[in-house]
Amino acid sequence: MRDVKGIIVGLLASVMLTAAVPARAETLRLLTWGDYAPEAVIKKFKDATGIDVEVTISNNEDMISKLRATGGAGFDLAQPSQDRILGPQTDFGIYKPMDLSKITAGLFIPELLDAAKKNTAIDGKVYGVAHLWGTSGLVVDRKKAPDIKSFLDLCKSEYKGRVSMRLKRPALLGMAFALGEDPFAAYGDKAKYQAIIDKAGAALAACKANVKAYWSGSDDLLNMIRSGEVVAAEAWDSTGFKLNAENPDINFVAPAAGALGWIDTFALPAKGKNDDAAYKWINFVMQPEIAAMIVDSAGSFSASKGSDQFVSPKLRAAFQQAFPPEVIAQIKWFPAVPAGLEEMEGKVLDKVAAGN
């Protein structure tokens, strides 16, 4: 009897000790772009689910690098662009397939959801669903540089030292289209693709005298344009919308050859430990009112159906000014990047950066 009592006392003590230790808060580790997870949205998510969100700010190249280094570990949800999933997944296996039964499909604009599913499918499995979309093109102070309508215009002599760009693939491909080439059509022919990007790289190198500075983060570019040091730049449309809210002379301008369109996705890292929290976040932020909060923060529009009705009037007006129907019809959407092409592009861009 004494032994039984001892066991009971021991069990009670164990239960009391367990109860005295506070439960560890559940956490979602999110690898995403700047402004895609504003604090107000994180707070609402925590209030609704009890889940904390740990945000790491990144970009496409950095996401690939981080996940490649860990074999897809360290994060529960990532947000690569749809065209940056096929190649890295084929080469490195850094993502796991999505369970579409856990996604509330009715929250999404069907065309964008279907496009992302199609462009991230490998062997019949889907690796990404749509979140935000937008374009790359030109941000122009139209009062100071009214004639800039093409990537080639950034290189006009009168704009020496007054333009900016980011030495990444959107600038390279944007210049290729401006030169009359179609790099997307050459994705399946590496020799032809190399010739196209070499030509575009040479044009970017010839334009270096016009570049005040190459921007890396949006804050760099915003400050240069606000100060008047830069009058035009290669940039995302969201940068133009943000500046337009401050100065109506500045806005995004789709290049004459067409803006380059992207869709950023939700994707599950291969060794993520909290898929359940990831799916909860996806369904939460795709609710129209919540999605509109992210749109107002990021400046890019959402694949959330009906979210545009909740977006700030200024942002909606800037979008309508930059994207009349004929401009939208000319958007060149980034297709999935085949394995090996980004390495080729990187070498060309490194050569541009190293040149005098």
Return the pLDDT at 334: 92
pLDDT at residue number 24? 53
Q: Domain for residue 74, yes or no?
A: yes
Domain match, 93 and 126 both: yes
* Boundaries of domain holding 21: 2-133+262-323
Judgement on whether residues 247 and 156 belong to the same structural domain of the protein:
yes
pLDDT computed for residue 19 by the predictor: 46
Domain CATH code at residue 276: 3.40.190.10
Q: Are residues 169 and 244 in the same domain?
A: yes
Cα 253 to Cα 138: distance, rounded to the nearest angstrom: 5
Q: What is the DSSP letter of 300?
A: S
Q: Assign 3-state DSSP to the chain and report helix, strand, coil percentages, each to 5.
A: 50, 20, 30
- In the predicted model, what is the mean pLDDT of the chain? 92
Residue 143 placed within a domain: yes
Residue 301 CA, distance from chain mean position = 11
Summarised one tens digit per residue, pLDDT across range 230-251 is: 999 999 999 999 999 999 999 9
Report pLDDT digits (tens) over 157-175: 999 999 999 999 999 999 9
Closest CA to 131 of 248, 317, 286, 315: 286
Residues 270 and 129 both lie in one domain: yes
- Could you tell me which residues come within 8 angstroms of residue 200 by beta carbon, excluding any fewer than 6 positions away? 172, 173, 175, 176, 179, 181, 183, 348
Q: Model confidence over 71-127: pLDDT tens digits?
A: 999 999 999 999 999 999 999 999 999 999 999 999 999 989 998 999 999 999 999
Q: Which of 7-11, 119-123, 165-169, 315-319 has the lowest mean pLDDT?
A: 7-11
Lowest pLDDT segment from 39-48, 79-88, 325-334: 325-334
The pLDDT, as a whole number, for residue 10 is 52
Q: Residue 28 above 70 pLDDT?
A: yes
48 shares a domain with 149: no
Q: Does 197 share its domain with 52?
A: no
- Same domain? For 82 and 39 the reply is yes
Residues 155 and 94 in one domain: no
> Would you place residue 328 in the very low, low, confident or very high pLDDT band (cuts 50, 70, 90)?
confident
Assess whether 216 and 268 both reside in one domain.
no
Q: What is the pTM of this model?
A: 0.80
- The 10 Å CB-count burial string (b at 16+, else e) for 233-257 is bbbbbbbbbbbbbeeeebbbbbbeb
What integer pLDDT is reported at residue 26 of this predicted model? Answer: 95
Decide if 328 is inside a domain.
Answer: no
Residue 70 is assigned to a structural domain of this protein = yes
Q: What percent of the chain has pLDDT over 90?
A: 85
Regarding whether 252 and 170 lie in a shared domain, the answer is yes
What is the pairing mode between strands 125-126 and 121-122? antiparallel
Task: Report the DSSP beta bridge partners of residue 52.
Answer: 27
pLDDT tier, 217 (very low <50, low <70, confident <90, very high otherwise):
confident
- One domain, residues 162 and 206: yes
Pair 19, 120 in one domain? yes
Question: Quick check: 170 and 260 in contact, CB under 8 A?
Answer: yes
Q: Which residue's structure tokens are 């932020």?
A: 285
Q: Does residue 53 belong to any structural domain of this protein? A: yes
The lowest-confidence range among 24-28, 301-305, 341-345, 352-356 is: 24-28
- Other Cβ atoms less than 10 A from the Cβ of 182: the count is 14
Locus of tokens 């280094």: 69
pLDDT at 15: 42
Tell me how many domains the chain contains: 2
Is a pLDDT exceeding 80 seen at residue 66?
yes
Is 101 within a domain?
yes
What one-character-per-residue DSSP string does 243-295 give?
HHTT-TTEEEE--TT-PEEEEEEEBEETT-S-HHHHHHHHHHHTSHHHHHHHH
Q: 320 is written with which tokens?
A: 């309508």
